[in-house]
Amino acid sequence: MAAQGSQHAAAPATAAREGLREREIAGEQRHLDTVYRRLEEKLAEAEYVLEDAAKRVQVGTPGALAERDAQVFRAGAHLHRLNNEFEDFLFGRIDLQQADAPEEHGIPSFTPLDAADPNVAQSLHIGRLGVLDAEFGPLVIDWRAPAAAPFYRATPLEPGRVLRRRVIRSKGRKVIGVEDDLLRPDLAPVLDGEELAVIGDGALMASLGRARSHTMRDIVSSIQKEQDEVIRAPAAGATLVTGGPGTGKTAVALHRAAFLLYQDRRRYAGGILVVSPTPLLVSYTEGVLPSLGEEGQVAIRAIGSLVDGVEAGRYDTPETARIKGSARMVQLLRRAARAALELHAPTELKVVARGEVLRLDAARLHAVRGQVVGGGGTPLNLLRPRARRLLLDALWAEAVRDLPRPGDHYAREQRQEEKEAFDEYVSDEAPFLDFLQAWWPALTPRQVLGTLKSSRHTNRIARRAVTGEEARLLAASWRHLGERGEGAVSAHDVALLDELQQLLGEPARPRTREVDAVDLLTGLDEVTTFADRTARVRERGPVERTEYAHVIVDEAQDLTPMQWRMIGRRSRTATWTIVGDPAQSSWPFPQEAQAAMDEVLGGKPRRRHTLTVNYRNPAEIAEVAAKVLALAAPGTPSPTAVRSTGTLPRFAAVTATGPGAFAAAARAELVRLLGEVEGTVAVVVPMDRRAEAAGWAEGLGERVVALGSLEAKGLEYDATVVADPTGIAGESEGGLRVLYVALTRATQRLTVLSGPDDLPDSRGVPALLR
């Protein structure tokens, strides 16, 4: 009876709440309608302007007419995006208390919170873009505007002026729900004398529980305070953000790009580079910025696609990767570039001039080559004009070897004139031109890399830069390259190609007078021949070297020193946002990478942030991952999981050995998980088992993917199967940290599938996770 009575008493309260919810939704619907009406008005206005302008083409300057066209175009694009792309264009509202409302005064009746209430100074609606009404009052405030910051920053402990924060959910033009947080519970609102519960479950939990697809969603309606502080941090210097898996580092980095564009569009338009570790992460994240209304101004590039015209398509073994990533490669490449010049160089120069045969032998040529390079530092391809001039000098010295030195001023002038005539004659002679071409060829980075495929050659030039064994490993990784270095390269090779580009330089652009790079310093330059200029046109390849105004590095813990140098070359005047998690690093020498980063950042002021809450993994999964974290990076705190699902990770062991042993178990697990979750499922394996795993996933549809451990970086799935954890942990020096990455990809379900090598106990829990 008591239970019945309480149910009975609860009914009117529930009904009242439902009534209130509907009323609030209707209120928000009215506002959204107003917003769309206003947008349509703007569009109509713009169209009118266009028609009008078309009718009276003589009126107005061409510039003004173009501006009108642009206005129409912008308004049209705006409405199109609102209708088609922004599912919840208007997503938030804050109700702010009067700035001077006395604390103890309280608010007598603010139900519902209402702009007409004298205590509510302002109700602000927040959306993906700003919209003004006819009087220039804000109908919607852009989420990036300073006025929107309290939406993200206010907490019950520090509410500021915010009384209530509301998340509005809509589909197309229809409001479908509102979820409120009351920031001042002490001012508990009342409805007809009844206490009003907070409406909804909270937008954050709703979005975290949602099934995942293969593209990342923006988090604009539920950015948390510590994340907002990063997004809105000042642009100057470098903003360094660390945080464990799932703390929103990637999401925050992308929202920061949108924020910077909003804040200073002129400075950042076209000039923000986001560097991502893998092409998979690029395609996973590239939809986020368009959903924030930003398209085209931000370049999101995988680290292996940073050099134009080159796309990394191979993986290096961990041992080779750690050599290629090391700063020691700079020395090796410098020598490789010099050696490539000499590789097929002729050893004698012979020309006929002034009626005699003039020769430069190998020793003389060697000396001239040393003279050309001088103190080093100048890119080799730019030294060709200097090589020509010094060769001509050497030939002239041969030509006048037996003549007495000119005694007086007149004789010296005459000798000088003869020399000029000699230079002009010789430098247009085919034997000389052919020799120069062969002796100082314009090299491409690919060509130089190609020379290193010979382990004898690599070993010969390596000296102390790398050991004999390292030289052998390097050469083996390039064995497949063609004579001119053509063929597939790895992401680590791309950084080496970029370094070589720096060492070689661009062959100079053709022009009437070509400047000697060294002589620039002395104020001298010289005239080139036609043959030389046309040769340069042929040699030049397509090269991009863009500078960016802001560089955002995602998963920065994985960058090698050589990759830092590559990014540094694109960001000499840039400001930085660098996000990463040392505990997830697959690079084995963090100090070396830190030093490389320090060199790139120079003296720029740095501000540091730490993100502490894991929004991806439920507590049950985070707990298993924390066991590996304790081994991988002892002492590193685990981020706090924000939710729990009540479902523990599953452990299963495969006892059979040999090829195919995992197949049945893995496939069965994938099928089971597909039935349990609505979204994506991934199986993560050691890198050398990728082909095998692709077979397990075959035919299971688009929701399933098979990934090597390094490919899983930054991605997330509703459910994951981590197969052969010991295999992942043992595949490289940073293997435990890679396993930590693999274990932290799931938003709902995790299965660990162990083999006999993982030493599973009777419950199937592998030794590493006990």
> In whole angstroms, what is the distance from residue 421 CA to residue 187 CA?
96
- Minimum separation from the CB atom of position 218 to ligand ATP (A): 8
CA distances from 632 to 18, 570, 745 (A): 51, 33, 17
- Minimum separation from the CB atom of position 576 to ligand ATP (A): 17
CA distances from 21 to 12, 18, 25, 111, 123 (A): 14, 5, 6, 12, 18
- Minimum separation from the CB atom of position 607 to ligand ATP (A): 18
- Minimum separation from the CB atom of position 98 to ligand ATP (A): 29
User: Could you tell me which residues are annotated as the binding site for ATP?
Assistant: 243-250
Is 508 in contact with 525 (CB distance < 8 Å)?
no
DSSP notation for 413-452: HHHHHHHHHHHHHHHTSHHHHHHHHHHSPPP-HHHHHHHT
Element (H, E) at 613: strand 613-614
What region does 505 belong to: left with phi over 0, alpha with psi -120 to 50, or beta?
A: left
Half-sphere exposure of 108 (CA within 13 A, CB side): 2
What's the maximum distance between 2 C-alpha atoms anywhere in the chain? 130
Chain residues that interact with ligand ATP, rule: CB under 6 A: 204, 207-208, 217, 219, 222-224, 227, 243, 245-251, 581, 584, 615-616, 714, 716, 744
649: tokens are 């990770």
Three-class DSSP category at 595: helix
Three-class DSSP category at 239: strand
Helix, strand, coil distribution of the chain in percent, nearest 5 = 45, 15, 35
- Minimum separation from the CB atom of position 300 to ligand ATP (A): 14
Closest CA relative to residue 737, chosen from 760, 755, 710: 710
Letter string b/e over residues 389-402, b meaning 16 or more CB atoms within 10 A of that residue's CB: bbbbebbbebbbee
Burial of 564: CB neighbours in 10 Å, binned 0-12, 13-18, 19+: buried
> In whole angstroms, what is the distance from residue 650 CA to residue 753 CA?
8
Three-class DSSP category at 505: coil
> In whole angstroms, what is the distance from residue 202 CA to residue 568 CA?
42
Relative orientation angle of helices 362-373 and 328-343, to the nearest 10 degrees? 140
> In whole angstroms, what is the distance from residue 273 CA to residue 268 CA?
10
Q: Show Cβ contacts of residue 442 under 8 Å, excluding neighbours closer than 6 positions.
A: 381, 384, 507, 535, 536, 539
> In whole angstroms, what is the distance from residue 262 CA to residue 348 CA?
63
Q: Which is nearer to ligand ATP, 177 or 243 (CB)?
A: 243
> In whole angstroms, what is the distance from residue 489 CA to residue 585 CA?
22
User: Could you tell me which residues are annotated as the binding site?
Assistant: 243-250
Three-class DSSP category at 178: strand
- Minimum separation from the CB atom of position 195 to ligand ATP (A): 28
Is 304 in contact with 490 (CB distance < 8 Å)?
yes
Q: Report the Cα–Cα distance between both ends of the chain, in Å, rounded.
A: 50
Q: Which is nearer to ligand ATP, 245 or 649 (CB)?
A: 245
- Minimum separation from the CB atom of position 657 to ligand ATP (A): 32
Q: Which is nearer to ligand ATP, 219 or 559 (CB)?
A: 219
105: tokens are 């005064």
481: tokens are 């390259």
- Minimum separation from the CB atom of position 760 to ligand ATP (A): 26
